[in-house]
Amino acid sequence: MESRKPLIAGTWKMHKTCPEAVETARVLAGMTTDVEGADIMIAPPFPALAPVAEALAGSRIGLGSQNLHWEKQGAYTGEVSADMLVSAGCSYVIIGHSERRHIFGETDESVNKKTRAALAAQLTPVLCVGETESERDAGKTFSILDKQVQKGLNNVNLDAASPLIVAYEPVWAIGTGRTATADQAEEAHAHIRRLLAQQLGRNMADTVRILYGGSVKPENIAELMARDDIDGALVGGASLDADTFSRLIHY
């Protein structure tokens, strides 16, 4: 199996003013100077991207955006393009987060357009997939993942140099305090990797990092990370405090 360096990513969602975001980033950068075995990424809100990029300069932490539009420019009030994100200092972008899908109506088709736009701009897309509680209870977890992965990566051409990250986030475990067991998470991750092998080829699938997202905390990350197909975490609430997130990164 290909060796995959873990990625611990934090999304701050709609939290933190610019000064708050800069201070948290500055403190976190100082707490993670010793981290070599994992990559780190934080995704602040749009207004804080450029100042946080400055605060992270020279650190081990990469900068990500929580969303983007698939067009390069145009009359799309309130949207931002991949090139704008790159110019603000981003190297990652989160695409298709469950809150974007379920609150703002994003579809597999729009997720696919955004993924292709990110790759074209040499941003690393973090493609989010996952089932709701009712879908899991109905035994539809794998069929939902099949649809979201296949449609999300439709006509996406990757080579060995192309970055791609997938994040499995069971919707029923996001912000609820519930976490998928390590067995449940590994089962879903292994299924996603099989899907990637079918769509991209085994060699490419073995290089793609698959993150787990859903109430990840310092107390449960080590057990999750011990599993073969779990390559990191997409962290929400626990990433808002620098000390808590640092403890999680140092699992």
Residues 29-44: pLDDT tens digits?
999 999 999 999 999 9
pLDDT at 3: 76
Which of the four pLDDT bands, split at 50, 70 and 90, describes residue 1? very low
Say whether pLDDT at 127 is over 70. Answer: yes
Say whether pLDDT at 152 is over 90. Answer: yes
Residue 99 bears catalytic tag: no
Q: Are 153 and 116 in contact (CB under 8 A)?
A: no
Which of the four pLDDT bands, split at 50, 70 and 90, describes residue 178? confident
Say whether pLDDT at 175 is over 80. Answer: no
Counting residues of the chain whose pLDDT is more than 70, the rounded percentage is 97
Q: In this predicted structure, which of 40-49, 115-124, 157-166, 233-242 has the lowest mean pLDDT?
A: 157-166
Among 99, 106, 131, 169, the active-site one is: 169
Residue 79 bears catalytic tag: no
pLDDT at 172: 85
Among 69, 97, 131, 186, the active-site one is: 97
Average pLDDT, the chain: 94
| CATH superfamily, domain at 7-249 | Aldolase class I (3.20.20.70)
Q: What is the DSSP string of 62-127?
A: EEEES---SSSSSS-TT---HHHHHHHT-SEEEES-HHHHHHH---HHHHHHHHHHHHHTT-EEEE
